Amino acid sequence: MIAVYNKFLITTEIIETFNKMGKKVSLFTDENGLLSIKNGNTVDFVMDINFHGNVHDLCIKYDLPYIVWSFDSGVRTVLSGITLRNKDFLFLFNRTDYLECSKKHGNTYFLPFSASDSFIIPGRESNDFDCDILLVMNSYNETVMKSETLFQKTVDASQDEIHQKSYRLIKSLMDLVIEKHKDIFDKNLMLDFLEKSITECGVDPFREGRKETFCEHYGQVLSSIQREICLNEICLSGHKVHVYGDSYWEKILKPFSNASFFSNAGYDKLSSLYNSSKININLTQIQNIDSIPQRIFHVLAAGGFLLSNYSEELVSVFKPLIHLETFRNVQELKEKINYYLNNENMRLKIAGEGHVEFIKFHKMESRLAFICGEFSKKSDFF
């Protein structure tokens, strides 16, 4: 029996695939749920999507093997304070996290995410599309509010004027980093920009190890700003644009008659949305630029044409001009949108090749088989 912590929507894809593989699997949300699975069953391992300390603690308490498949950027920072056992396994989709964690823990593997068979659409029956360009946005309001609230709590917790000044300086430095970085989409230079700004300022207000944490934190804010920049330029092109997201994006779209807003897309509707758009835009968050987000796999599984911001990690797995297309800046984004909307045969060919590549090498079943295989190799030793 495999016990899966039920926290994210991707859990449904994992359950679906484990069932297809003939694995017995049950979901739990708390200690009582895990105990009900444990009573009467032999639990092979507990699976966690992203690291949750409470789940890891339960595995220690009941001496259960723990497997985490993490898409959380900067998970290495979280894990640095955790004592890992020989029956703890880390499968990380961020290459930087993998390289750092593998130095300290033997059971560490690089494993990008995937998409289950429910996302696969075999082929297009016609060339009718619902829109020219589709963007499925993360929650802008939630991201920014969390960022600002967390920072304000830190400021409010300060008891003296010196600390207050330090926090205000940190905020000013991070705002400057975002301004410098907002037009750079293909690499993460936040820490470099921050170090240069500190040198120019002549004062370093950060405690040891905190620069990376703030860069991870404000990377989400930067990515939201970049999404807004791209969306504005795309809408100005006059093409038929569909956007799914929260109420913030609805406000952004109001001046554009060619753009339609829809509330957050249901998980079960994503594949048909990707398949029915001529161009699907992916904007990988800066703090995850050395990862391949799940949306990439979802779009390719659905047979959609994908245009994503460039990253070394992405092009090491999928080939531009063959499986998908990439852009490095807003100007290139606009140029490639116009090119592929006017070259349908090329666009459909790339979408088809990307779909085939996904089917051959990146299905969810192969990912979970790898996890189970690596676990089986070592389970005899504990």
CATH number at residue 56: 3.40.50.2300
Tokens of 347: 């666009």
The C-alpha atoms of residue 312 and residue 100 are separated, in whole angstroms, by 18
216: in domain: yes
Low-confidence ranges of the chain (pLDDT < 70): 73-74, 125-126, 139-148, 150-164, 381-382
Same domain flag for 222 and 328: yes
pLDDT of residue 87: 96
Same domain? 154 vs 110: no
Q: Does residue 147 sit in the same domain as residue 261?
A: yes
Regarding whether 161 and 101 lie in a shared domain, the answer is no
Nearest to 354, CA basis, from 301, 295, 315: 301
Cα 222 from Cα 205, distance rounded (Å): 21
Report the distance separating Cα 221 and Cα 177, nearest Å: 11
* pLDDT for position 233: 94
Q: What pTM does this model have? A: 0.90
Q: Considering all CA atoms of the chain, what is the largest pairwise distance in Å, rounded to the nearest integer?
A: 67
Show Cβ contacts of residue 124 under 8 Å, excluding neighbours closer than 6 positions: 275, 303, 348
164 and 296, same domain (yes or no): yes
Instruction: Note whether 269 and 374 are same-domain residues.
Output: no
Q: Per the domain annotation, does 41 fall within a domain? A: yes
Please check whether residue 125 lies inside any domain of the structure: no
| Residue in the block written with tokens 């001529």 | 278
Q: Which pairs with CB-CB distance under 8 Å and at least 24 residues apart come from 318-323? A: 318/354, 318/357, 321/350, 322/350, 322/353, 322/354, 323/350, 323/353, 323/354, 323/357
CATH of the domain at 204: 3.40.50.2000
Between CA 336 and CA 339 the distance in angstroms is: 5
Domain span including residue 140? 131-361
Cβ neighbours of residue 98 under 8 Å, at least 6 residues apart? Answer: 92, 108, 109, 110
The C-alpha atoms of residue 29 and residue 6 are separated, in whole angstroms, by 6
Same domain, 328 and 193: yes
Would you give the DSSP letter of residue 322?
A: T
Our count of domains for the chain comes to 2
Residues 48 and 63 reside in one and the same domain: yes
Cα-Cα end-to-end distance for the chain: 17
CB 256 within 8 A of CB 241: yes
Q: Are residues 197 and 324 in the same domain?
A: yes
Query: What pLDDT sits at residue 148?
Result: 66
Euclidean distance between CA atoms 238 and 257, whole angstroms: 9
